[in-house]
Amino acid sequence: MRIASALGAVALIVAAVPSTGADRPYEAEIANWRKDFDADLRNGAWLALVARYQLGEGAFSVGSDPSSDLVLPERAPRSFGRLTRHSASVRFEPAGGAQASVDGRAISGGVELSTKSGTGWVRSGDFQLAVRPVGEDYYVLVQDSGNPLIRNFKGSTWFPVDPSFRVPAKFLAYAHPQRVALALTHVDSRQYLESNGDVLFELGGRPWRLKTFAEDDHLFLMFQDGTNGKATYGGGRFLYAPMPKDGATVLDFNKAFNPYCSVNDAVMCPIPLPGSRLEVDVTAGEMKATSP
């Protein structure tokens, strides 16, 4: 579908998007969303992440002892244990005498670790680690519940709410899903996400098109714009949108946010694809991180 003709379809759904202006209910909605966003950032372990290591095949000792294969921060147990990977199979064996648990259950010997999100966390004291696949590679992620980033986080900084940055969009589905390789910050690995279509919308009086990725029950978008490196994070920003209904959705750039690697270098973030730059100033959503 050509952009011009598709924009005609977008115009037809504008009436379906309430024109709220700068009314208080809408501002309250955005304020609550931003409050929840900061709570997730503070409590969702993004700030607790203190280290990451690519995990190859074989056995690796883990601990703060400098002789360890994977050297943890100084506060971590001197000898945490041993990780062994064979293809997609990962096993953890606690160090002798160490008290450890996996997903809240105490262990005394070697256990097979799940690499699925939300599972396979090995804890000892304030530290916990898990292994996750990233594309064709595997990484050890290490968290410290006492990381100073957590207590130093004072909240995100946002542009004033501007309803003009809440825009209708037309969803253009692909004939077949696309498996897209995304570059990541700090590492050479690639993350693969599935895309089922693009969104077409108008901003700043011009038509734009962005690739979307399905994440749970939302669309996930990445974009860059004229504010990057000035008022906003240089690497671009992210945005979630509702799943399309009857080929339509809404993009609310007042909810645009920085990738979490903007506040924690230990986090790996996908990098916006070429062609995702909007040649306008999107003065909405999260600004440059000013804390921690």
Domain ranges in the chain? 3-44+155-278, 49-146
Mean pLDDT confidence for 94-107 = 93
pLDDT recorded at residue 44: 75
161 touches 27 (CB < 8 A): yes
Mind spelling out the 3-state secondary structure of 108-141?
CCCEEECCCCCCCCEEECCEEEEEEEECCEEEEE
| 48 or 17, greater pLDDT | 48
User: Which residue, among 257, 282, 253, has the nearest Cα to 269 in the 3D structure?
Assistant: 257
Torsion sign (Cα): 261, 267, 270, 271: positive
Give the type of residue at 29. E
For residue 52, is pLDDT > 80?
yes
- The yes-or-no verdict on residue 101 having pLDDT over 50 is yes
In single-letter form, the type of residue at position 254 comes to: N
> What is the pLDDT confidence band of residue 287, given thresholds at 50, 70 and 90?
very high
Beta bridge partners of 284: none
Tens-digit pLDDT profile for residues 221-257 = 999 999 999 999 999 999 999 999 999 999 999 999 9
Structure tokens at 187: 């590492």
Task: With CA atoms as reference, report the closest residue to 52 among 70, 30, 27, 69.
Answer: 70
C-alpha to C-alpha distance for 21 and 17, rounded to whole angstroms: 12
d(CA 209, CA 172): 10
Integer Cα distance of 93 and 109 in angstroms: 6
Tokens of 130: 């898990």
162: pLDDT strictly greater than 90: yes
In this predicted structure, the answer to whether residue 127 has a pLDDT above a threshold of 70 is yes
What is the CA angle 284-286-287, rounded to 5?
95
DSSP 185: S
- DSSP H helical ranges for the chain: 3-13, 24-43, 148-152
Q: What average pLDDT score do residues 141-164 get? A: 95
pLDDT at residue 198 greater than cutoff 60? yes
Q: What is the largest CA-CA distance in the chain?
A: 69
Contacts of 219 (CB under 8 A, 6+ apart): 171, 199, 212, 213, 240, 241, 242, 243, 244, 249
% of residues, the chain, pLDDT over 90: 86
According to DSSP, the residues that pair with 54 across neighbouring strands are 139
Judged against a pLDDT cut of 60, whether residue 38 lies above it is answered with: yes
Name residues whose C-beta falls within 8 Å of residue 31's C-beta, 6 or more positions apart in sequence. Answer: 161
Tens-place pLDDT, residues 251-278? 999 999 999 999 999 999 999 999 999 9
At residue 290, the pLDDT reads 56
| CA nearest neighbour of 270 among 96, 135, 143, 165 | 135
Band (15; pLDDT cuts 50, 70, 90): very low
> Which pLDDT score is estimated for 121?
98
CB-based contact 111:120 (threshold 8 Å): no
User: In 10 A of CB 103, how many CB atoms?
Assistant: 16
140 forms beta bridges with: 53, 131
Just give the CATH number of 49-146: 2.60.200.20
The reported pLDDT for the residue numbered 150 is 93
Nearest-angstrom CA–CA distance, 185 and 52: 12
